[in-house]
Chains A and B, each alone.
Chain A
């Protein structure tokens, strides 16, 4: 037993309470945690896994400390996800974590906030929106800019409508094939920048999505006058351990798993092999 408690590779177990179909290729797992330790923060991640299949990193799209519930939103890709997608309600899931640094929410105090999400990148940003809704009075103007491939692929549509009553929610899709309660602009997420009505010198940006999207988000915001040091990006990399040992997630001198996944843009852009 002692070896298990000091072995960082040793998995814990959670119970699958519900599987929620989000879009055609994306689902959420509602996990209930047993035992001690519920210290998950927005922007961190778990290594979720199943014996015989393996483990992969997934972010949290909802953290409910009172109910000891975590929601992890996952897009169909690879073996681990394939097996997780078939898991029956009530079954056990292995996990390790939380890993990584998470979003620096403390930096938002007294600032305007822009959250830019692309596709599945909305998942790790949803707890940030929850934070904005809860602490709105400590924060200046808040924007969510969310882009997806098609408007059908948009995650958390009910949430978006609800959030739009408290914060500015702007949506875009490359292909608008359906309109919901909120208008979806046709085009890239950067086309929404025209509608930002705030001073970017007092603004913090959190962004997560495809790296090529984040590159143009950063370039666009910098052109509008934002300091690149106020832009935080969350990166996806291959991971096997989550603790800076297996080497897969390295970008230059940084381990995305333990130094990230959230980085100040200039701190990570200086290394090779990012698209930023």
Chain B
């Protein structure tokens, strides 16, 4: 059995507080409006470890919504890569398994055949600590997507915690995770019983889901039914084209690049910011706009997350966090779209 420990709550918080001296720590805290958000934290007491879901996942600390790419000297034409400057190492604490899976999904885009140096550096410099979910959240369906409620990854993260009745089980996904984790006081070697308890909690957590989706054969089914009327009906009646779904989605990676020039015209900052396939002009070229209808844009979102992503990256682009439907002003739910098509196939109304 791989190396694992148990640690009591007080010692865990104490360990985290000590780490704040050498790490910038980000974690879930309740803000003034009562929403839980990931923020830089200065002391461990303010953490909300029972949080359900956040509007933005921890993606923002590895792939920020806006970041500088280059400083360009307009007189010489020389451009200088601007990498994120950090004096301290960083740690994201209490990432839910779906969001950790989302980061591993993003890795396939940004550190695939072409390496994005900005993402690569932030990812490498950030320690990830996962906290397994003992209960399903309101609109989550991670169990259906194979991304929760307990972490399914073998690597690509550093530490994973499971809240047990009296203490936490601490397991590791990397050597550096082990090094940092073992600095905690009061660690006790995990025993067989601790793993049995973990299994039991996971089984109970899996039972608590209210939302499900059948993913068997789903990509092929969606690709056979690109002309299904659900897209047009839903888009025309409900999609406002607000792009919320793609802003909160933890696997969305699209960006736009923008140049900003100083008033003296001497320097240009080239930066990028999150863009969205739901934006009207996203696919527009001189020849025309290839997704000018909301129907086409909604279909792009649904089929990318649930079908073509699999062909591109060998995994779903949806990790079942439920954010897109939670933050959609009209509650468009991609699982309901998929279910309608599946239902139509069953009764012979679709292919």
Contacts and interface: CB of A to CB of B under 8 A. Distances in A.
A221 interface: no
B286 A77 contact: yes
A32 to B, nearest CB: 15
B312 A253 contact: yes
Nearest to B121: A3
Contact of A273 (B83, B290, B309, B312): B290
Tell me if B's interface is mostly helix, strand, loop or mixed. Answer: mixed
Interface stretch (A36-44, A61-69, A171-179, A243-251): A243-251
A240 B287 contact: no
A246 B279 CA distance: 14
Nearest to B74: A51
Contacts of A246: 254-257, 272, 275
Interface string A218-250: 000000000000000000111011011111101
A82 interface: no
Most chain B Cβ neighbours within 10 Å, of A247, A251, A270: A247
Interface in B293-313: 296, 299-300, 303-304, 308-309, 311-312
B277 interface: yes
Contacts of B284: 238
Interface string A249-276: 0111100001000000000001111100
A273 B308 contact: no
Interface residues of A, number: 42
Nearest to A119: B287
Contacts of B255: 240-241, 245-247
A136 interface: no
Interface in A1-54: 3-4, 6-11, 13, 51-54
Contact of A253 (B109, B257, B308): B308
Most chain A Cβ neighbours within 10 Å, of B115, B272, B287, B299: B287
A180 B258 CA distance: 44
Contact of B261 (A11, A52, A248): A52
B253 A247 contact: yes
Interface in B39-82: 69-70, 72, 74, 77, 79-81
B268 A253 contact: no
Nearest to B283: A238
Interface residues of B, number: 50
A245 B80 CA distance: 20
A224 B71 CA distance: 55
Given A236-B285, A237-B285, A272 B116 contact: no
A212 to B, nearest CB: 9
Most chain B Cβ neighbours within 10 Å, of A77, A92, A237, A273: A273
A163 to B, nearest CB: 26
A130 interface: no
Tell me if A's interface is mostly helix, strand, loop or mixed. Answer: loop
A75 B268 CA distance: 26
A250 B290 contact: no
A135 B114 CA distance: 34
A101 to B, nearest CB: 13
A272 B296 contact: yes
A51 B253 contact: no
A274 B290 contact: yes
B327 interface: no
Given A78-B286, A237-B285, A3 B117 contact: yes
A52 B72 CA distance: 9
B286 A273 contact: no
A11 B268 CA distance: 14
A210 B277 CA distance: 22
A247 B308 CA distance: 13
A272 B226 contact: yes
Given A4-B81, A236-B287, A244 B303 contact: no
Contacts of A94: 77, 79
B264 interface: no
Contacts of A244: 109, 112-114
Contacts of A191: none
22 contacts: A3-B81, A6-B117, A8-B116, A8-B117, A9-B70, A13-B77, A52-B259, A52-B265, A53-B259, A92-B77, A237-B290, A240-B275, A244-B114, A245-B255, A246-B257, A246-B272, A247-B275, A248-B254, A250-B300, A273-B290, A273-B291, A274-B290
Given A245-B109, A245-B114, 19 more contacts: A3-B83, A6-B115, A10-B79, A11-B79, A51-B261, A54-B257, A210-B287, A240-B257, A240-B272, A241-B255, A244-B112, A246-B254, A251-B290, A253-B308, A258-B113, A272-B226, A272-B299, A272-B300, A273-B300
The 5 closest A-B pairs by CB, nearest first: A247-B254, A253-B311, A243-B114, A253-B308, A3-B81
